[in-house]
Amino acid sequence: MNRKIVILGTGGTIAGTAASASDHTGYTAAQVGISQLVEAVPGLAEGSCDLVTEQVAQIDSKDMSFAVWARLAARVSHFLAQPDVQGIVVTHGTDTLEETAWLLHALLHPGKPVVLTCAMRPATALAPDGPQNLLDAVAVAAHPGARGVLAVCAGVIHGAPDVQKVHTYRLDAFSSGDAGPVGYVEEGRLRLVRNWPEAPVHRASAAIKKVVEQQDGSGWPRVEIVMNYAGAGAGGVQALVAGGVQGLVVAATGNGTLHHELEAALLEAQAAGVRVIRATRCLEGRVLPRHGDAIADSQGLSPVKARVELMLQLMAGPG
Ligand code: SIN
């Protein structure tokens, strides 16, 4: 039985086209199909695994929706369960890649590699970065023992818990912050510097079922992000609570600090039954919890990942 690598396309700049080869910003994302992207990479089909492609979506990832997430989670889950599938690669836009990475990691905690990859330049660029990223992602997916959800960009392997887009233009647009990357892909070979990422094990399978079954994206809890900043007040939170929000993540300043007016509104929301989580808007570090904290911290997750996590927790329900 030949091992398979499944490559799922969702769009992004990696599948983008521009009118001019020198245009790296005025392009349209999500234009080229996944089979065409794969065919365009010399040597990709020559590895030890058979390649299978499937177009799951074709979107600019700024427009990521619950429906696409549900479809993607269902397809990843389906292929992970096939004994002959060694690993999965997902082509994705860079803009919300870290959110999808956390969703798949926390939801599916895969024992096989699920490797998200992307590009900062469109497929029509003079020197596109997508083909090398795709080749590297397949090398990671084919690596014996690889597991968990990973992101591969510019030769760097990041784990889903730590990966974050940190640059608007540079090809090496992602960082794992002070945790550091999982490793590097060099000439098709992996140099690992950390363990494969571990996923939280508390996830109730009911959450998986709900997400995967609701293919229209309905039924996801409403969780929003608010931010602390100079002069932050109570109005935004009060409007969200009045609008029926079920969860709030606050991107706090520094080590979780909040303007006293915003904090009072969040505590009021919490007392009214809204789940509230405190993350930090700092790019590196995490909110260090203290005994008796009135608002729980995000356990190191960035605000956008903490939001995904809170949605999953609300879907899973108590216990
Ligand atoms: C997107 O996120 O789909 C567009 C931007 C990118 O992929 O770099």
Dist CA 70 CA 66 (whole Å): 6
> What span, in angstroms and rounded, lies between the C-alpha atoms of 72 and 149?
13
Cβ–Cβ < 8 Å for 245, 225: no
The confidence score (pLDDT) of residue 2 equals 84
Closest CA relative to residue 157, chosen from 140, 132, 169, 134: 140
User: Does the CB atom of residue 95 touch ligand 1 within 6 A?
Assistant: yes
Q: What is the DSSP letter of 17?
A: B
- State whether the beta carbon of 122 lies less than 6 angstroms from ligand 1: no
Helix (H, G, I), strand (E, B) or coil at 28: strand
Cα-to-centroid distance, 273 and ligand 1 (Å): 36
Ligand 1 atom 1: the closest Cα is on which residue? 93
Q: Is the pTM here over 0.95, yes or no?
A: yes
How far, in Å, from the CA of 18 to the mean position of ligand 1? 13
Does the CB atom of residue 10 touch ligand 1 within 6 A? Answer: no
Any atom of ligand 1 within 6 Å of the Cβ of 120: yes
What positions carry a catalytic annotation? 13
- Residue 291: is it exposed, middle or buried by C-beta count within 10 angstroms (0-12/13-18/19+)? exposed
Q: Is 118 in the pocket of ligand 1 (CB under 6 A)?
A: yes
**How many whole angstroms from 85 Cα to the centroid of ligand 1?**
27
* Chain mean position to CA 259: 29
- Classify residue 195 by its DSSP letter: P
- Residue 317: the pLDDT is 79
Rounded Cα gap, residues 139 and 89, in angstroms: 10
Tokens 């999965």 label which residue?
Answer: 88
Low-confidence ranges of the chain (pLDDT < 50): none
CA gap 30, 68 in Å, rounded: 14
